[in-house]
Amino acid sequence: MAKNRDSEQIEACKVKGRDCPEFRVSYPHLFTPGEAMEGQEQGKYGLTMLFDKRRADLKPLIRAARAAAEQEWGPGYEKKHKIRWPFRDGDKDRPGTEGYENVTFVGANCKKKPKTFNEEVEPASEGEIYAGCYGRATVIAFAYEFMKKKGVSFALLSFQKTRDGTQIGGYDASGDFDASPRGASDDDDAKESDDMFI
């Protein structure tokens, strides 16, 4: 269990939205919690952040994660403990999963509903946020120990959508239809239908 931290220590582990590199959203549960996992009383809010390996500068997140580890286990923790870090390789850990190619993915969860904003920094509606859009988040790193395994994870404090993107896992229904003849209208279709029964 993580130690109690003072405000200065908490700030050292926090990455504010303006400092967080932009990421693509996966598995968003920002308005209603996800399903509870085994052993949990209730599900959590959260999302998975997909960072482009070639462009995203993860230094702010890495610094925060290292600060949380040092606060919990002290200087030199790398030599004393094997730490499970929150940064995972999409190509190795999620091969073949849509949206996880060439990305580093990081989960961030919370028990309470996070504040969620749109591009204008106004409260976002549920319909504005979807898997595949882009955003930034304010997160805080914390250390944990579970079943004798030590690790660092991120808690989600708030999220801002920055732009739209191609939806992950969405169904493109455009192939279900043919283009309408130029100049055709609903009135023309209705007249043709009426003629059939006169």
Contact by Cβ (8 Å): 153, 142: yes
Confidence of residue 36 (pLDDT cuts 50, 70, 90): confident
Beta strands in the chain (DSSP E): 14-15, 23-29, 45-52, 83-84, 88-89, 103-110, 115-117, 134-146, 149-163
pLDDT score at 171: 52
pLDDT score at 5: 81
What pLDDT digit, counting tens, does each position of 78-123 carry?
A: 888 999 999 999 999 999 999 999 999 999 999 999 999 999 999 9
pLDDT score at 148: 86
Q: Which of 90, 88, 110 is nearest to 101 (CA)?
A: 90
pLDDT score at 134: 98
Contact by Cβ (8 Å): 22, 56: yes
Query: What pTM was estimated for this model as a whole?
Result: 0.82
Domain residue extents for the chain: 7-162
pLDDT score at 112: 96
Confidence of residue 39 (pLDDT cuts 50, 70, 90): confident
Residue 161 has pLDDT above 60, yes or no: yes
Weakest mean pLDDT among 48-57, 72-81, 110-119, 174-183:
174-183
**What is the arithmetic mean of pLDDT over 33-40?**
83
Q: What is the CATH number of domain 7-162?
A: 2.40.50.140
53: buried, middle or exposed (CB in 10 Å: 19+, 13-18, 0-12)? middle
pLDDT score at 6: 86
Q: CB-hemisphere CA count at 13 Å for 150?
A: 15
How many angstroms separate the first and last alpha carbons of the chain? 79
pLDDT score at 195: 41
* Sequence-distant (≥ 6) Cβ neighbours of residue 121 within 8 angstroms: 160
Residue 18 has pLDDT above 70, yes or no: yes
Weakest mean pLDDT among 40-44, 55-59, 79-83, 171-175:
171-175
